C-alpha cells in the first residue's frame, strides 16, 4: 500500500521539520503521560508493597481486584471521569473537564493498578527471600517496605515502563475527557485518530511511527540507566 | 478514601501547570463534519484575532454534542439536526436557535456501482435500489445528525433497513471519516456531508453517485447554552461569538472557505445575507 511507504517519509519529515504545532502535541503527550505515571508510582508503589507485606482480612480479594483493574478499558475510565468532572457531575465545580489535568486523572486511574499490581508481585517475591533477615534486624513495617522497594527498584522500573506504555498508547480515555481540542488537549493518539478519520492515512501512520520512536527512546533510556546502575552496584 | 484524595490533590497541582493561558476562551460543542473539513481552522482564527477570545471546539457526533451541552459542558452548540435542535430550545437549554449555514449530503459509492444508482437525484429511490440489490451500505449508526438524516431517507424509501443490519446494512458506530474509511474498505455505499467528502484524503475509486435531492439539504444551527440551566456558561463571550458568526463578518468567513476551489458551506443567517 502506498500509505505505508509514505508514512515513514511523513514521520521523518515531521521530526525534521520541527513544526511547532507538532512539537506542541508531542510535548503535551509526554507531559500528560509522564505526570500520570509519576503520580501512579508515588501512589501505586507503596500501595503494592503494603499489599505484599501486610496481612489483613480481604487482602487476597484486594490483590485480585488490582490485578483485574490492570485490564480497565480506557474508554470506560474516560466515561467515568467525564461523568465525575462534567459541570453536572460531583466535581464539576473544579472546571477540569477538557483540560490536560482531566487527562492526567484518567491516565492515573488506568496506570495506578498496573504499577501497584506489578510492584506487589516484585516485592512479594523479594519479601519471601528477605523476611527472616529483616525480622532478625527488628525492622518495622515502614523500614521493611522501604528496604524492599529499594531492592526491587529494577523490577519497579519495569512496572513504571509498563504503566508508561499503557498511558502513552491509550486514546479512549483522553479523547473523552480531553475532547481533542487543538492546542489545548490534542495529543499524539487523538491526533492519530483524527487524521485517520480525515482519511489522511499516511500522516496518521507517520504520527504512529513517531509515537513508537518516543516509546523506544524512553525504554532505551531506562534500560541504559539500569545497566549503568547495575554495573556500579557490582563493581 | 486516601487514594482518591491523592488523585484529586495531584490533579489540582497539575492543573495550573498545564492550563494553556490566561486568555478568555469559550467551549463549543460541535460536529465532526465542521471540524474534520477544516472549516473551523479557517474561520476561528479570524474571530480570535478580532476579539481576543479563544474558541475551543469539541468535535463529536450531534447526539453526543447535544448531550454534552445538556450536561453544561459547553457554552455554545453548533450542530445539524433540526428536530433535535428545536427540542433543545423547547426544553429550555437555549434561549433560541440561529440559522448559520447549510451544505448538502451526498451519497458516495464505488465506481463499479453494484446498485446502478449513479447519476440519480432522488435519494429515497436510490436507497430503494440499494435495498433491492442488497448492495452493502455503511451507516454511521451513532445517533449523529448524518445518521438521523439517513434514517429519515430510509423511512421515505419505505425500506426497513434495520432488519438487514449485519447483512448488507452495516452500522459502523463511528464518525463520518471513519465510516467513509469503512465504506471504501468493504465496497459499500454511504451517506456523507459534502464538506467531509471533499476534504477526505483516501477516496480510492469512490465518487459521488447521488446528489441534488432537496431532501439532502443540510442546515446547521447555533445556540447559546442557557445560563438558567447552566450557571457556568460564559453568556457574554458565547453571545459575542454567535453574533459574529451570524453577522456579516462570520458569514463572509464561512462563504470564503473552499476545498479544491469549491465553496463548502453556504451562509444562511437571517439577519444579513452574504455570499452564496
Q: CB–CB of B27 and A100 under 8 A? A: no
From B66, B61, B69, select the one nearest B85 (Cα to Cα): B66
Tell me if chain A has a CB within 8 Å of the CB of B155: no
Neighbours of A61 (CB within 10 A): 9
Position B72 in a domain: yes
**What distance lies between CA B178 and its chain's CA centroid?**
14
pLDDT of B275 over the 50 cut: no
Position A217 in a domain: no
The mean per-residue pLDDT over the stretch B30-50 comes to 92
Query: In the numeric block, which cell numbers belong to residue B205?
Result: 475509486
Position B90 in a domain: yes
Q: What is the spatial distance between Cα B98 and Cα B228, in angstroms, rounded to a whole number? A: 19
Tell me if chain B has a CB within 8 Å of the CB of A100: yes
User: What angle is formed at CA A101 by the lines to CA A97 and CA A107, rounded to 5 degrees?
Assistant: 100
A20 or B238, which is more confident: B238
Give yes or no: residues B166 and B237 share one domain: no
pTM over 0.90: no
Domain that includes residue B149, residue range: 103-216
Q: What is the spatial distance between Cα B78 and Cα B25, in angstroms, rounded to a whole number? A: 16
Position A229 in a domain: no
Tell me if chain A has a CB within 8 Å of the CB of B204: no
Give yes or no: residues B121 and B163 share one domain: yes
Q: What is the spatial distance between Cα B160 and Cα B89, in angstroms, rounded to a whole number? A: 31
Cβ-Cβ contacts under 8 Å, B199 against chain A = 198
Position A201 in a domain: no
- Compare CB distances from A200 to B14, B58, B201 and report the shortest one's residue: B201
Give the CATH number of the domain where residue A110 resides: 1.10.3720.10
Cβ-Cβ contacts under 8 Å, A200 against chain B = 201-202
Give the CATH number of the domain where residue B90 resides: 3.40.190.10
Read off the pLDDT of residues A152-208 as tens digits, 9 standing for 90 and up.
999 999 999 999 999 999 999 999 999 999 999 999 999 999 998 888 888 899 899
Position B274 in a domain: no
pLDDT class for B234, splitting at 50, 70, 90?
A: very high
B67, with CB counted inside 10 A (0-12, 13-18, 19+), is middle
Give yes or no: residues B56 and B182 share one domain: no
pLDDT class for A138, splitting at 50, 70, 90?
A: confident
- Compare CB distances from B15 to A96, A109, A197 and report the shortest one's residue: A96
Q: CB–CB of A99 and B18 under 8 A? A: yes
End-of-domain residue from the set B185, B200, B216? B216
Domain that includes residue A87, residue range: 21-186
CB B125 within 8 A of CB B132: no
Position B276 in a domain: no
Count of alpha carbons within 13 angstroms of residue B160, beta-carbon side: 1
Question: Is ipTM > 0.85 here?
Answer: no
Structural domain count of chain A: 1
From B149, B155, B140, B122, select the one nearest B188 (Cα to Cα): B140
Position A135 in a domain: yes
CB A213 within 8 A of CB A26: no
Amino acid at each position: 500500500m502506498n500509505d505505508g511507504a509514505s508514512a515513514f517519509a511523513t514521520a521523518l519529515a515531521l521530526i525534521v521539520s520541527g513544526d511547532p504545532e507538532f512539537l506542541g502535541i508531542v510535548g503535551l503527550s509526554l507531559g500528560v503521560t509522564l505526570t500520570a505515571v509519576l503520580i501512579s508510582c508515588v501512589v501505586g508503589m507503596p500501595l503494592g508493597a503494603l499489599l505484599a507485606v501486610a496481612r489483613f482480612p480481604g487482602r487476597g480479594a484486594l490483590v485480585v481486584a488490582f490485578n483485574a483493574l490492570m485490564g480497565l478499558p480506557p474508554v470506560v475510565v474516560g466515561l467515568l471521569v467525564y461523568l465525575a468532572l462534567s459541570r453536572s457531575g460531583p466535581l464539576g465545580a473544579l472546571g477540569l473537564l477538557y483540560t490536560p489535568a482531566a487527562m492526567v486523572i484518567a491516565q492515573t486511574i488506568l496506570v495506578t493498578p498496573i504499577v501497584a499490581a506489578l510492584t506487589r508481585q516484585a516485592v512479594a517475591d523479594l519479601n519471601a527471600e528477605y523476611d527472616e533477615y529483616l525480622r532478625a534486624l527488628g525492622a518495622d513495617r515502614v523500614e521493611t517496605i522501604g528496604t524492599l522497594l529499594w531492592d526491587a527498584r529494577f523490577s519497579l522500573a519495569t512496572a513504571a515502563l509498563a504503566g508508561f506504555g499503557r498511558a502513552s498508547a491509550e486514546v479512549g480515555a483522553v479523547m473523552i475527557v480531553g475532547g481533542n481540542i487543538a492546542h489545548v488537549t490534542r495529543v499524539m493518539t487523538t491526533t492519530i485518530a483524527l487524521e485517520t478519520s480525515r482519511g489522511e492515512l499516511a500522516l496518521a501512520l507517520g504520527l504512529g511511527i513517531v509515537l513508537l520512536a518516543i516509546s523506544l527512546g524512553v525504554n532505551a533510556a531506562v534500560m541504559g540507566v539500569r545497566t549503568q546502575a547495575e554495573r556500579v552496584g557490582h563493581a | 478514601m486516601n487514594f482518591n484524595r491523592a488523585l484529586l490533590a495531584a490533579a489540582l497541582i497539575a492543573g495550573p501547570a498545564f492550563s494553556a493561558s490566561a486568555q478568555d476562551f469559550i467551549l463549543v460543542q460541535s460536529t465532526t463534519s465542521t471540524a474534520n473539513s477544516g472549516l473551523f481552522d479557517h474561520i476561528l482564527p479570524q474571530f480570535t484575532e478580532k476579539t481576543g477570545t479563544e474558541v475551543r471546539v469539541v468535535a463529536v457526533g450531534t447526539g453526543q454534542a447535544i448531550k454534552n451541552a445538556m450536561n453544561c459542558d459547553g457554552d455554545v452548540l453548533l450542530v445539524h439536526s433540526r428536530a433535535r435542535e428545536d427540542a433543545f430550545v423547547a426544553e429550555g437549554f437555549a434561549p433560541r436557535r440561529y440559522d448559520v449555514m447549510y451544505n448538502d449530503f451526498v451519497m458516495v459509492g464505488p465506481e463499479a456501482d453494484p446498485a446502478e444508482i449513479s447519476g440519480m437525484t432522488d435519494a429515497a429511490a436510490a436507497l430503494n435500489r440499494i435495498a433491492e440489490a442488497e448492495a452493502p451500505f455503511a451507516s454511521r449508526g451513532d445517533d449523529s445528525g448524518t445518521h438521523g438524516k439517513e434514517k429519515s431517507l430510509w423511512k421515505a424509501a419505505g425500506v426497513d433497513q434495520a432488519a438487514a443490519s449485519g447483512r448488507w446494512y452495516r452500522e459502523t458506530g463511528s464518525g463520518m471519516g471513519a465510516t467513509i474509511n469503512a465504506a471504501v474498505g468493504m465496497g459499500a455505499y454511504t451517506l456523507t456531508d459534502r464538506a467531509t467528502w471533499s476534504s477526505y484524503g483516501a477516496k480510492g475509486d469512490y465518487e459521488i453517485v447521488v446528489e441534488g435531492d432537496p431532501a439532502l439539504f443540510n442546515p446547521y444551527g447555533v445556540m447559546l447554552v442557557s445560563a438558567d440551566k447552566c450557571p457556568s456558561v460564559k453568556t457574554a463571550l458565547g453571545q459575542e461569538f454567535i453574533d459574529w458568526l451570524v453577522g456579516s463578518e462570520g458569514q463572509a468567513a464561512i462563504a470564503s472557505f473552499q476545498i479544491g476551489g469549491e465553496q463548502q458551506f453556504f451562509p444562511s443567517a437571517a439577519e444579513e445575507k452574504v455570499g452564496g
